[in-house]
Amino acid sequence: MDKTQRLNDKQLHIIKDMFKRRLDGERMEDIATYHGISRKTLSTYKNSFHGRQLYAEFQKEMSIDDIPKFYSILSERMQTGGVKYLELFAKIHGLLKNEKQSGSVDDSKSDIAKNGLSGDMLADIQKMLRKGDKNNHSNNIKRIK
């Protein structure tokens, strides 16, 4: 099987079953035997481009319930003054230039879009958050659907 080839229906069934059974701690050898294939074949399915893509979707699906908890913790940590949490928030919301992104922005009027947030800007955001706490303003971050 070519790594770029898409999995057929039978292979899809096997790989999705493997994802679920691996969560329960079952060994790949046992899963492969159950489906009448070798561990190497199961590994080939799993490591194909399509298999990796399916696994990423599976992981995202399994963690969807943790998103509100993530934002709650992030909000708490930002309010305690953690700069790395402010940076994470800024990256999530496109306010901070992500080093892994490639390409350029044509908007030369916006330094933030061009260069990302500076350390001074992050410090200002942190001060505003602290100021909001002192004035008893609610600055919790809420997810809006």
- Alpha carbon of residue 31 to chain centroid: 28
Helical pair 9-23 and 39-47, crossing angle rounded to 10 deg = 100
Instruction: Give 100-117 pLDDT, tens digit per residue.
Output: 544 444 443 455 555 666
Query: Where residue 92 falls among pLDDT bands split at 50, 70, 90?
Result: confident
pLDDT of amino acid 31:
94
Question: Residue 94 above 60 pLDDT?
Answer: yes
Question: Residue 135 above 60 pLDDT?
Answer: no
Measured between alpha carbons, how far apart are the two ends of the chain, in Å?
A: 41
